[in-house]
Amino acid sequence: MPQIVIDIITLIGSIIRLLGTAALGAAIGYLAVDLFHKAETWPLQAALFLGLAGLVIAMVVFLSSAALGGFGLGFGVAIFIWGMPKKQKDEEPK
């Protein structure tokens, strides 16, 4: 196979890996925010934080930099979207 075809397939594979880990990061970020808000005791929140820290450490060791960047982007976006406090809607009586 010509080298250009192998390079194109490698590039497409890297882009798919980047998008897949970004989606995984968004899903794990949503799950983490949801579970953190539902946790009523601090030991459960600490266990959740330590589990996420362990996941990130394992990803740093075993993933490529593009995949890790995609996970970080997805996770960060999820934290900002679902982690922010919700605004109260002001209802005016008519």
- What's residue 94's pLDDT? 64
Between 73 and 92, the more confident residue is 73
Q: Greatest CA separation found in the chain? A: 73
- Tell me the mean pLDDT in the region 35-51: 91
- The contacts of residue 71 (CB under 8 Å, 6+ apart) are 21, 22, 24, 25, 59, 63
Confidence of residue 75 (pLDDT cuts 50, 70, 90): very high
- pLDDT band per the 50, 70, 90 thresholds, residue 93: low
Instruction: List pLDDT tens digits, range 44-71.
Output: 999 999 999 999 999 999 988 888 899 9
Whole-number pLDDT of residue 82: 86
36: Cβ–Cβ under 8 A, 6 or more apart, which residues?
A: 45, 48
Q: What is the pLDDT of residue 67?
A: 87
- C-alpha–C-alpha distance, residues 24 and 20, integer Å: 6
